[in-house]
Chains A and B, each alone.
Chain A
């Protein structure tokens, strides 16, 4: 009998540079598949994570490219699925102030927050102890 072990967590530390996001997506894609997410669910998890990182770069660090971002990707404990914990030292944002646009009002921009909230099963956005923000994203595999 072969023991099946969960994939190990992955810890990443990147600078706030948009060109680095593709590499993060590549790591998350591999882990998402090994955590049981199908292709569309993987894509949705990665998009929610990507939108979070884009927000950190664009709004948290206000476009600076020397901000630090920590990303922990880990299998969920009780079911197939993947969790991302994203932390930064950017300016603290009141989660209540983050609103996406009305989807009926079709115009460029304003979709990121909507995508972050709807593409995953859990989206938690809180101030980080010591400054910055902490975001937790979870996506469960379909039963």
Chain B
């Protein structure tokens, strides 16, 4: 697990889709970094936004709130949002919060981009 408030986020384009890959724990100190990166990506008007969560091993309720806010904004902007490659830990957290049925979840980035 990481220490410190930094969260590395790799931002990529795949065609007209934006793919964000946060690397590290998404907690109270770091979720604002993810929120800003998602907001910036939305401003570029992609056809689709994919969050690759393969490198996130921990997420707290502030991280979940960031995802829910992103989903609401994606619906307002008519930009589909997909989550992919969730680690077992993060998937279990989404399930307990009953958010696994709210988001479009995919096993891999390729599947998310092809959907």
Contacts and interface: CB of A to CB of B under 8 A. Distances in A.
Given A107-B68, A108-B68, A21 B92 contact: no
A18 B5 CA distance: 8
Given A40-B89, A111-B97, A21 B61 contact: no
B54 interface: no
How many A residues are at the interface, by size bracket? 20 to 34
Contact of B88 (A18, A39, A50): A39
Contacts of B27: 18, 21-22, 50
Contact of B96 (A54, A57, A58, A115): A115
A111 B64 contact: yes
**Dominant secondary structure of chain A at its interface with chain B:** helix
A51 B92 contact: no
Interface stretch (A41-49, A67-75, A76-84, A88-96): A41-49
A23 B3 contact: yes
B92 A40 contact: yes
A105 B99 CA distance: 11
23 contacts: A18-B28, A22-B2, A22-B3, A26-B1, A39-B88, A40-B89, A43-B89, A43-B93, A44-B96, A47-B58, A47-B93, A50-B27, A50-B28, A50-B60, A51-B60, A54-B61, A107-B72, A108-B68, A108-B69, A108-B72, A111-B97, A112-B61, A115-B96
Interface of A: 18-19, 21-23, 25-26, 29, 39-40, 43-44, 46-47, 50-51, 54, 57-58, 103-104, 106-109, 111-112, 114-115, 118-119
